[in-house]
Chain A
Amino acid sequence: MGVERTNGTDTRTETTDTPHTQDRPTPPPADNPGSPRQPSRLESLRRAREEQHARAAEIAAARQAQTEQSDKPREGADTTEPTAEQEDNDETREPAETGHDSEDRDKQAGTEKAEQPDTPGETQDATAKSKDGEETQQLDETTQKHDTGAEDTGRNPVDTQAEVEDAEQPDSQDADRNSPAPPDETDQPQDGEADNLDLQEQDHSALSPDAERSFNTADRDTSPETGEAERLNIAGETQDTSAEPEGADETRESAETAPTPDTEAVGTERGSEDGDTDAQAKAEEVEQPDFADEEPHSQDTDQASHRPPDEAGQVQDGEPDNQDQPLSRHEEPSSETADQGSGTAESTTEQDPDGPTGQGQEVADDQAPGPGDQRAAEDQPRVSEPPPRPDAPAPLPDWPPRTNDGITRWATPVYRVDDRTPGGQVESRDRNAGTQPETSTANEGNDYRWLPDLPRDGTPGRGELRPPEEDPVDREAEFEERRRSRWEPLDRLQAGMDGVKKATEGAKGFLDKPPPAGKAEVKTDTGSMHSPTTNAAAYPTDAILGAAIVATAAIGAITRTVDRIKNREAERE
Chain B
Amino acid sequence: MKITDEHVATLRAQLSGDTDEYARRLDELVSTETQATYTTLITAAFFEAVDRRFVINGKTAGDREIIDFVATKREINPIAAERLDPVIAEQVLAHALGKGSIPGDIDSDTLMETQVLLLAALIGEADLSESELEAFLAKARAEADEHLD
Residues of A within 8 A of B (CB): 468, 475-476, 479, 481-483, 485-487, 489-490, 492-513
Q: Write the chain B residue with the least CB distance to A507.
A: B120
- The answer on a CB contact under 8 Å between B111 and A493 is yes
Residues of chain A within 8 A of B15, CB atoms compared: 511
Tell me, in angstroms, the Cα distance from A358 to B19 when the chains sit together: 159
- The answer on a CB contact under 8 Å between B35 and A494 is yes
Q: How far is the CB of A159 from chain B (nearest CB, A)?
A: 122
Residues of chain A within 8 A of B73, CB atoms compared: 510
Tell me, in angstroms, the Cα distance from A511 to B14 when the chains sit together: 8
- The answer on a CB contact under 8 Å between A483 and B47 is yes
Q: How far is the CB of B129 from chain A (nearest CB, A)?
A: 12
What are the nearest 6 A-B pairs in CB distance? A496-B112, A482-B98, A507-B120, A496-B108, A499-B113, A499-B112
Residues of chain A within 8 A of B4, CB atoms compared: none
Q: Write the chain A residue with the least CB distance to B108.
A: A496
Tell me, in angstroms, the Cα distance from A468 to B59 when the chains sit together: 11
Residues of chain A within 8 A of B117, CB atoms compared: 503, 506-507, 510
Given contacts A503-B117, A503-B120, A504-B14, 17 further A-B contacts (CB under 8 A): A479-B55, A486-B47, A492-B107, A493-B115, A495-B108, A496-B107, A496-B113, A497-B29, A500-B112, A502-B109, A506-B116, A509-B79, A509-B80, A510-B120, A511-B123, A513-B17, A513-B127
- Give the contacting residue for A492; candidates B47, B58, B111; CB below 8 A: B111
Tell me, in angstroms, the Cα distance from A500 to B113 when the chains sit together: 5
Tell me, in angstroms, the Cα distance from A507 to B110 when the chains sit together: 14
Q: Which of A493, A510, A511 has the most CB of B within 10 A?
A: A510
Tell me, in angstroms, the Cα distance from A502 to B114 when the chains sit together: 10
Q: Digit string of B110-139 for contact with A (CB within 8 Å is 1, else 0)?
A: 111111110111011101000000000000
- Give the contacting residue for B124; candidates A475, A492, A499, A511; CB below 8 A: A511
B3 within 8 A of A: no
- The answer on a CB contact under 8 Å between A506 and B40 is no
Residues of chain B within 8 A of A505, CB atoms compared: 79, 83
Tell me, in angstroms, the Cα distance from A475 to B58 when the chains sit together: 7
Residues of chain A within 8 A of B125, CB atoms compared: 510
Q: Write the chain B residue with the least CB distance to A501.
A: B26
Residues of chain B within 8 A of A497, CB atoms compared: 29, 32, 35-36, 38-39, 112
Main secondary structure of the interface of B (DSSP, over half): helix
Tell me, in angstroms, the Cα distance from A501 to B28 when the chains sit together: 12
- The answer on a CB contact under 8 Å between B19 and A486 is no
Residues of chain B within 8 A of A468, CB atoms compared: 57-58
Main secondary structure of the interface of A (DSSP, over half): helix
Q: Which of A490, A507, A508, A511 has the most CB of B within 10 A?
A: A507
- The answer on a CB contact under 8 Å between B26 and A500 is yes
Residues of chain B within 8 A of A512, CB atoms compared: 17, 124
Residues of chain A within 8 A of B119, CB atoms compared: 507
- The answer on a CB contact under 8 Å between B17 and A509 is no
Residues of chain A within 8 A of B58, CB atoms compared: 468, 475-476, 479
Residues of chain A within 8 A of B124, CB atoms compared: 510-512
* Given A487-B43, A510-B73, A499:B79 Cβ within 8 A: no
B52 within 8 A of A: no
B61 within 8 A of A: no
Q: How far is the CB of A404 from chain B (nearest CB, A)?
A: 108
Q: Write the chain A residue with the least CB distance to B51.
A: A483
Residues of chain A within 8 A of B77, CB atoms compared: 506, 509-510
- The answer on a CB contact under 8 Å between B17 and A499 is no
Tell me, in angstroms, the Cα distance from A417 to B10 when the chains sit together: 112
* Given A483-B47, A489-B111, A509-B77, A504:B26 Cβ within 8 A: yes
A-B contacts, 28 of them at CB < 8 A, read A475-B58, A476-B58, A479-B55, A490-B147, A493-B115, A494-B36, A495-B39, A496-B113, A497-B38, A499-B110, A499-B111, A501-B26, A502-B109, A502-B113, A503-B114, A503-B117, A504-B26, A504-B116, A506-B80, A508-B17, A508-B120, A509-B120, A510-B73, A510-B120, A510-B123, A511-B16, A511-B17, A511-B124
Residues of chain B within 8 A of A482, CB atoms compared: 97-98
- The answer on a CB contact under 8 Å between A510 and B121 is yes
- The answer on a CB contact under 8 Å between B108 and A499 is yes
Tell me, in angstroms, the Cα distance from A493 to B44 when the chains sit together: 11
- The answer on a CB contact under 8 Å between A486 and B111 is no
- Give the contacting residue for A483; candidates B16, B79, B98, B120; CB below 8 A: B98
Residues of chain A within 8 A of B102, CB atoms compared: 489, 492
Q: Write the chain B residue with the least CB distance to A489.
A: B102
B84 within 8 A of A: yes
- The answer on a CB contact under 8 Å between A493 and B116 is no
Residues of chain B within 8 A of A485, CB atoms compared: 98
- The answer on a CB contact under 8 Å between A506 and B147 is no
- The answer on a CB contact under 8 Å between B23 and A504 is yes
- Give the contacting residue for B43; candidates A493, A498, A501, A503; CB below 8 A: A493
Q: Which of A481, A482, A504, A509 has the most CB of B within 10 A?
A: A509
- The answer on a CB contact under 8 Å between A498 and B96 is no
Q: Write the chain A residue with the least CB distance to B81.
A: A506
Q: How far is the CB of A467 from chain B (nearest CB, A)?
A: 12
Tell me, in angstroms, the Cα distance from A207 to B114 when the chains sit together: 148
